[in-house]
Amino acid sequence: MQEAMIKRAKELLADGTVDRVIGWKKGEFVYDHTPAVFTSAQDIEENFVCDELTSANLSKYLVKETVREGKVLAFLKPCDTYSFNQLVKEHRIDREKVYVIGIPGGPKLDIEKIKAKGITGILSVKNENYTLKIDTLYGASEMPFYEAVSEKCANCKSKKHVVYDELIGEDGDVLDSGRFETVEKLENMTAQERYDFWRSELSKCIRCNACRNVCPACTCEKCVFDNPSSGVENKAAADSFEENMFHIIRAFHVAGRCTDCGECSRVCPQNIPLHLLNRKFIKDINELYGTYQAGENTTDKAPLNDYKMDDCEANVVHERGVE
């Protein structure tokens, strides 16, 4: 697939359809492919990469890219097309300036899951018949492919591209995944258990803001968390308020707009399952106000910009709660 993508990118660059390409670039290690903008065929030939470890969502980069002159080619996985659509809907991306090529999605691998097996000094990762052959500094090792699949791909919500100009590979379907299972499990715990769970997770937060910076729904030019007089712009030790506040507000600001792309959890250096907060909102919205998938199209009204006369009252929270 990588060859097909490179070939197509070079063609489109050569015939002038686009003058930049956004894709993934090889990093220092095999597992840190980073999003990058390519402007020459040679650069693409040398550095372009797309494999099981290129999981970054490229949609957000288009916000800055489409402000510039000229057209840009973007390779989008199915889940990225949802973020793309959502950004088009919010007028953050100029659709005219992007040429979207849909590429098949995952399953992508989570390097942390490989490292968690005690495999270090990784030189290369190859998937052979769903067994990962991992070459390391200390010799070869292997593990089953599915044990290393990232959370977001294991709970894939859709293999369908909701927007594209052309496709490489085939389009899939919207899937019925069990992505709300963990949320449900938490909901069924007692308040004390939930509190303990989230304390142990959120107290790991170092306020690096990576989750906010990577989130395709967080595109405000000015962010509440950057306000130096807010008193919450950095981490305070031994204080539960800051972390709670940051994570509640972060999730709240994208409620109804979050497409559940899972980038927040992927980039978290502390491996906090942040996507669960977003999923809680999505689950509540689906259950209380009707099923809604952000980014599915560019026309539906977002649930928090909308209301019905006979919406439930806020005390449903009490009625639905577990003691």
Partner 1 sequence: MQVNENKEFQPLIVAFCCNWCSYAGADLSGTNRLNYPTNVKIIRVPCSCRVNPMFILRAFQRGADGVILCGCHPGDCHYTSGNYFTRRRMTLLFGMLDFLGIERDRTRVEWVSAAEGAKFAATMNEFTEAVKKLGPNRRLEDLRCRKQ
Residues near partner 1, by CB under 8 A: 183, 186-187, 191-199, 224, 236, 238-242, 244-245, 248-249, 251-252, 255, 277, 280-281, 284-285, 288-289, 303-304, 306-309, 311-318, 320-321
Nearer to partner 1, 242 or 263 (CB): 242
Instruction: Give the integer Cα–Cα distance in Å for 118 and 139.
Output: 13
303 near 292, Cβ under 8 Å? yes
**Angle in degrees, CA 74, 146, 33, rounded to 5:** 35
Nearest distance from C-beta of residue 208 to partner 1, angstroms: 20
Q: Which two tokens stand for residue 242?
A: 């800051």
Match 């390779």 to its residue by tokens. Answer: 75
Nearer to partner 1, 66 or 278 (CB): 278
Task: Work out the end-to-end distance of the chain between its first and last CA atoms, rounded to an integer number of angstroms.
Answer: 51
Instruction: Please compute Rg for the chain using Cα positions.
Output: 21
Nearest distance from C-beta of residue 162 to partner 1, angstroms: 24
Residue 247 CB coordination number (10 Å)? 19
Q: Point out which residues pair with 127 in neighbouring strands.
A: 132
Count the alpha carbons within 13 Å of 292 in the hemisphere toward its beta carbon: 26
Nearest distance from C-beta of residue 285 to partner 1, angstroms: 7
Nearest distance from C-beta of residue 268 to partner 1, angstroms: 17
- What is the spatial order of strands in the sheet that 166-167 belongs to? 34-38, 20-25, 72-76, 98-102, 166-167
Nearer to partner 1, 31 or 225 (CB): 225
Nearer to partner 1, 40 or 240 (CB): 240
Nearest distance from C-beta of residue 270 to partner 1, angstroms: 17
Nearest distance from C-beta of residue 265 to partner 1, angstroms: 16
Residues 89, 90, 96, 101: is their CA dihedral positive or negative? negative
Nearer to partner 1, 90 or 187 (CB): 187
Nearer to partner 1, 48 or 198 (CB): 198
